[in-house]
Amino acid sequence: MRKSKGFTLVELIIVIAIIAALFFIAFPVYKNFANRALDSEGESLLVKIDNAQKKYHAKFGVYYDGGEEAKDYDETLGIDARENKNFKTFTITSTGKSYSAQAIGSGRAKDRVLKNSYDRSDK
């Protein structure tokens, strides 16, 4: 009897099942890693806003209110997001003793909004 040189259908199905299982395990891990990489730019923008707000508060005694409108540049705080790839706009709202900032995603990070807030009303 001659020996077959090919793969059987069962062997091919098993290999495909193993590859599919690896994909379904690896894809969520990859997606999480990719989102964290995208978020790093937005987090950097929020740190810049936080540092600028601290300087503004030290000088004027209140936090700067940039309004509800999303913008890519704020002259008062010196924040410029125009060079960013994924987080090109931000908002800064303030009550004087507290502030809230949002980095708004675009491009590959669209539908992502990172938030940061600081409250000194109890101090």
- pTM of the shown model: 0.74
Element (H, E) at 52: helix 9-60
93 burial class (0-12, 13-18, 19+ CB within 10 angstroms)?
A: middle
Per-residue pLDDT of the chain (123 residues; tens, 9 = 90+): 667 778 899 999 999 999 999 999 999 999 989 888 889 999 999 999 999 999 999 999 999 999 888 899 999 999 999 988 999 999 999 998 999 999 999 888 888 899 988 887 655
